[in-house]
């Protein structure tokens, strides 16, 4: 694992935003390493601080037969290998309090899924590991209400908190991003991330498989950087159509470089 300081994410020496990126789920070692190597190469060249993302298990699925993972320990060991091989921090989501200590043994950042952001025991368990805790804002919550999640983690003795916006529920099968929420959450004194790809999901489809609008990834990302987001969260895959989870809203890995180059230009223009 990599020991890194949270302040470096908010005040990067390059002046760039930081990036959380990787596949939705850990599908296997070979593809995880391939994705990580590609992103590390890009972010090193562009001086973008990078955290590799991969879910060791997907607990929130519409259908009972949807892919959930390759096995907890196997996936966590792959995340650990990515971190050690490329010298980058790693992040994965946890779903129950008992998972916090287990995941913390392998990764640097524990992520709280949006649907679970109000689960007090989960937040406290994550906080007590001493790891950075990235809390995704619930689709059903206002930005202002996320101060209570920050307070719970602080009160548990951990000041290493990141908040991530991933859109707001807009009817039954769509999400919309309210960019006013980014500066509001930044007022709590924590880095704020825009989850670009999940904010473009189209949940609750009749097929039981979540849809998405990946053609709008650049739009959402550009707006977030223009507003002043500290970081971006982007799920990416070399073959989204055949990804085992969330392929409908992921960015094709080959498109990441040109997107990041554009975003750096916007960051410089608004800084």
Q: Is residue 251 part of a domain?
A: yes
Q: Is residue 29 part of a domain?
A: yes
pLDDT value of residue 237: 94
Q: Is residue 1 part of a domain?
A: no
- Going by pLDDT thresholds of 50, 70 and 90, the confidence category of residue 210 is low
Length of the chain: 271
Per-residue pLDDT tens digits for 238-255: 999 888 876 778 899 999
pLDDT value of residue 5: 67
Q: Is residue 265 part of a domain?
A: yes
Q: Is residue 243 part of a domain?
A: yes
Instruction: Tell whether the model's pLDDT for residue 173 goes beyond 90.
Output: no
Phi, psi for 135 (deg, rounded to 5): -105, 120
- Going by pLDDT thresholds of 50, 70 and 90, the confidence category of residue 171 is confident
Per-residue pLDDT tens digits for 34-66: 999 999 999 999 999 999 999 999 876 555 656
Q: Is residue 2 part of a domain?
A: no
List the one residue out of 9, 87, 4, 79 whose CA is nearest residue 41: 87
Instruction: Tell whether the model's pLDDT for residue 215 goes beyond 70.
Output: yes
Distance, in Å, from the CA atom of 39 to the CA atom of 19, rounded to the nearest integer, reads 10
Mean pLDDT of the region 136-159: 97
CATH of the domain at 45: 3.20.20.70
Supply the range of the domain harboring residue 139: 7-270
- Going by pLDDT thresholds of 50, 70 and 90, the confidence category of residue 205 is low
Q: How many CB atoms lie within 10 A of CB 179?
A: 17
Q: Is residue 66 part of a domain?
A: yes
pLDDT value of residue 211: 61
Q: In the numeric block, which tokens belong to residue 242?
A: 């055949």
Domain count, the chain: 1
Looking only at the bridges linking them, the beta strands covering 161-165 and 192-195 are: parallel
pTM for the model: 0.92
Q: Is residue 144 part of a domain?
A: yes
Instruction: Tell whether the model's pLDDT for residue 111 goes beyond 70.
Output: yes
Instruction: Give the helix ranges, DSSP H, for the chain.
Output: 7-10, 29-46, 72-86, 99-104, 120-128, 147-155, 181-186, 217-227, 256-270
């Amino acid at each position: 694992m990599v020991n890194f300081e949270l302040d470096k994410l908010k005040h990067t020496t390059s002046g760039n935003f930081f990036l959380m990126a990787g596949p939705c789920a850990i599908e296997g070692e070979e593809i995880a390493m391939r994705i990580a190597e590609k992103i590390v190469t890009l972010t090193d060249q562009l001086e973008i601080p990078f955290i590799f993302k991969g879910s060791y298990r997907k607990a929130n699925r519409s259908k009972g037969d949807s892919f959930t993972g390759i096995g907890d320990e196997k996936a966590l060991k792959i995340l650990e290998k990515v971190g050690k091989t490329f010298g980058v921090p790693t992040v994965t989501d946890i779903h129950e309090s008992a998972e916090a200590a287990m995941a913390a043994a392998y990764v640097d950042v524990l992520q709280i899924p949006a649907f679970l952001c109000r689960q007090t025991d989960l937040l406290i368990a994550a906080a007590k590991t001493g790891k950075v805790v990235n809390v995704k804002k619930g689709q059903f919550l206002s930005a202002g209400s996320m101060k209570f999640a920050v307070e719970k983690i602080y009160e548990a003795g951990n000041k290493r908190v990141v908040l991530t916006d991933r859109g707001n529920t807009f009817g039954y099968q769509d999400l919309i991003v309210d960019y006013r929420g980014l500066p509001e959450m930044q007022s709590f004194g924590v880095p704020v991330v825009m989850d670009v790809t999940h904010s473009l999901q189209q949940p609750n489809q009749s097929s039981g498989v979540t849809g998405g609008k990946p053609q709008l990834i650049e739009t959402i990302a550009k707006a977030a950087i223009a507003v002043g987001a500290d970081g971006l969260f982007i799920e990416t895959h070399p073959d989204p159509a055949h990804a085992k989870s969330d392929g409908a809203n992921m960015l094709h890995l080959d498109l990441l470089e040109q997107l990041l180059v554009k975003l750096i230009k916007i960051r410089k223009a608004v800084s």
